[in-house]
Amino acid sequence: MSDGRILIAYDGSENARHAIEVAAAELGVGPATVLHAWEPLSSASSRLAVYAMIAGAGAQELAYEREQAQAKAEEGAALAREVGFDANAVAIEGDGPVAQTLVEYIDEQRPRLVVTGTRGLTG
């Protein structure tokens, strides 16, 4: 059941920043959750992830990634509050593509509206 919240997906890009401003101008303000979804490097299927695991980065790297993800969410929430939203920050860790993580969170939380900026060439 929705609590009337607007969900704003935020990745730090210029488009995501612009989406916050447009949402405030077009929708007015109110309760919002600024969400930064991320996939840990250790779960990414890339050579970089393999090298990180071999180097023993493991738990320290994951803790650092979590801190950075929360900081990104807080950055977005601060921007949303600057334009009048009553915003909180949430960072969610996925075990797959970020878009999939967002969709799963949206299905679970059932926000009133989802606002996102895209880079134009990705899903």
Give the separation between CA 78 and CA 99, rounded to whole angstroms.
23
Give the separation between CA 51 and CA 114, rounded to whole angstroms.
36
Asked if residue 8 lies in contact with residue 33, where contact means CB atoms within 8 angstroms, the answer is yes
Which CATH number, 3.40.109.10, 3.40.50.620, 1.10.3470.10, 3.20.20.70, labels domain 6-116?
Answer: 3.40.50.620
Tens-place pLDDT, residues 64-113: 888 999 999 999 999 999 999 999 999 998 877 778 888 888 888 888 88
Helix, strand and coil percent figures for the chain, each rounded to 5: 50, 20, 30
Q: Which residues are bridge partners to 33 per DSSP?
A: 7, 88
What pLDDT shows up at residue 72? Answer: 94
Domain boundaries, the chain: 6-116
